[in-house]
Each structure stands twice: as C-alpha cells, then as structure tokens.
Amino acid sequence: MHQVDDIFRRIAETQKVITRRKRSVQRAERNLEEAEDLLAALENERDEHLIASWGDAPNWHAIFSAYEPTPALQAYRDKWVSTVPGFRTTGYHNLETRQAVFAICFETSTQAELMQTVRMVEFVMPYLHADSRGEKTMMIYNVPAQDCSRSFVFNTHTGQYGIGTDRYMHRAETQSFPSLEAALRHLQSISDTDIVPEHQHELIGYTDRNSGEAE
C-alpha cells in the first residue's frame, strides 16, 4: 500500500512539473510571437522608407526580387504590376527561383491585346530567373484545363517560347513555337475570350514609366 501511495505522490508531483513547464512554454511562445511581430513591423517600416527613396519611377529589380514581400513591398509591387497591361500577380512563389510567380491572361481575341501582351512578355522576361530546366515561366490564366496546369515558358537553352503542360507535378509536354508572337497567338486562340469587334477593345499600351529595361 505504501508503494501505491508513493506512486500517487510522484504522479501529483510530475503533473505539477508539467503544468509549470507548460506555462513556461506558453510564456516563451508569447515572447517569440511578440518578437516576430516586432521584426515584421520593423521590416515593413524599412521597406516603406526604401520605397519612398525610390521616387516616382518603379524599381522593377526590387519588384521582381521580392520573394516574401512585406505588406509595403507587396502593395508597391501590385501597384506597378497593374500598370503593365496583361501582366498579373498570382500570390504564388517559385521555391526554385525564389521569385514571385506572375501570370498571362487573354481576355479578348483582338490583335491589339495580342500585341500588347507581346510587349509585356518582352518587358518581363529579362527580369525572371531560369529554373533548373533553363526555363523562365509564367502561369496562364483563362485557359480551360482538365487534370493539368499550363505555363508559358521561355527556354533559355533553345531561345524558344512555348506552352508547357504539367500533370501530377511533372512536365507532360512542351509545345514550342518559332517566335514569341506565334506562341502568344496560339495561347490567345485557346483562351476563354470574348469574340468581339476590334474597336471595342482598344487597349492602352505602355507609358514611358514602363519603358525601362532590365540590366
């Protein structure tokens, strides 16, 4: 009986130890959370000052290099990406290239939007990093897909543009084209676009502020 009483005593003591240590862990977690919040606030404040120092012209290198941007840098990126017709953010990140993932989306079947998108891709591609396959990629929106995903690719080894089809996280095929315009024309033809008269979709081209080139 004495042994059982001793076991109950040890159980009670151990439970007290666990309770104390849980409280210590909870305090440590709160302290860690507060430190992380402070760090995030300081990093955001830093970026606010950096953005202010860049002036009125977009800093495209910073925009394309922002992998996990602070709220200030994300708002800055979204603002300037929206000034490039046909260019879109996705909210995804490429773990291999450590860049944000951007997207192409055709909304009309017009020649104006086609040429606008040609200019957009010519502007964007120099800023994108190639992956281990030597491809610079953009997501494709507004194209019907079943059991697959498609991406717009530029192969830095061959110099060709194409449309890659991935199934179950692996490349199933890549359809290559002789030119950027040919690749985008095909993409436009398979996109879920409105069939409308050309004059109803006159699209605004680039302004001078988007004419900078990647170094």
If DSSP codes are grouped into helix, strand and coil, which group holds residue 66? coil
pLDDT tens, position by position, 85-142: 889 999 899 999 999 999 999 999 999 999 999 999 999 999 999 999 999 999 999 8
pLDDT at 52 over 80: yes
> pTM for this structure?
0.76
- The residues spanned by each domain of the chain are 1-53, 60-210
In 48-188, the DSSP E strands lie at: 87-94, 99-105, 135-141, 149-155, 161-167, 170-177
pLDDT tens, position by position, 12-23: 999 999 999 999
Distance of CA 174 to the CA centre of its chain: 22
Which pLDDT does position 168 carry in this prediction? 84
CB 88 within 8 A of CB 77: no
* Cα 85 from Cα 205, distance rounded (Å): 7
Cβ–Cβ contacts within 10 Å for residue 81, how many? 19
